[in-house]
A = this chain, B = another copy of it.
Amino acid sequence: MRILISNDDGISAPGLRALHKGLATIADVVVVAPEMEKSAVGHAITIANPLRVREVTDHGRKFGWAVDGTPADCVKIAIKALMDKKPDVLVSGINHGANLATNIIYSGTVSAATEGTILGVPSIAISLCTYDRNADFSVAVKYGMEIAKMTVEKGLPRGTLLNVNVPAINEKQIKGIKVCRQSHCLFDVAFEKRSDLRGLDYYWQGGKMNVNDKDSSTDIMAIEEGYVTITPIHYDLTNHDFLEELSSWKW
């Protein structure tokens, strides 16, 4: 088995290093990841600037390539220029922080997996639901390995990828894997205006998730209940249910 690993936290991120260590025990692993953290870059790609690629070693052994671009750039250049053969599966992560509900639209971790899917590679995004700086990725690595194996074995429908989230709890407390839909919860964004040392204004954006869609079929609720969640997602954005009504408007 040949696995491509990418992420949005950057090539040095502990979540990626832990994932690499686990997956290397079951497959040939290639890492192509951003030089720097690229959180919340969504599905950005770099077209106005050239991309630089740097070979990275780990204890003298080849580890992969660092790219000064976005997660989607990394996957594109990995598959189209750096790797001599397509991988059997792509695993993006392990992201340091959840990618749940409507928020996945902003996720670089998910966009790497989406790009893999666009390029015909079965792809998985995996995130650990904590921002704790000393987070332990080992349980998420185990689930990532299991889900990667299952994905290669079963295959995925064209245009579909898996978005996996792992609760940051003790392994024994995890209730198992639950397949669920994205919650429709939205992030309540808020801006804080500050002044710099020259007296000039700037804004930080922050906010919190407004958890108003949490029935048991949602990713958010399943994480709260202690499940590892898998949400199948796709990049067909057409709202097919609205095509007919919209056509009936008097254009």
Chain A residues with a Cβ under 8 A of chain B? 37, 39-48, 50-53, 72-73, 76-77, 80-81, 102, 104-106, 111, 114, 118-119, 150, 154, 157, 159-160, 162, 176-177, 179-182, 184, 186, 189-191, 193-194, 200-206, 230-240, 242-243, 246-247, 249, 251
Contacts and interface: CB of A to CB of B under 8 A. Distances in A.
A53 B203 contact: yes
A95 B16 CA distance: 37
Contact of A42 (B44, B179, B202): B44
Contact of A232 (B45, B119, B202, B242): B242
A55 to B, nearest CB: 11
Q: What's the number of copies of this chain in the assembled complex?
A: 2
Contacts of A44: 40-42, 44, 106
Contacts of A46: 40, 205
A95 B193 CA distance: 30
Nearest to A37: B48
A52 B202 contact: yes
A44 B107 CA distance: 8
A146 to B, nearest CB: 8
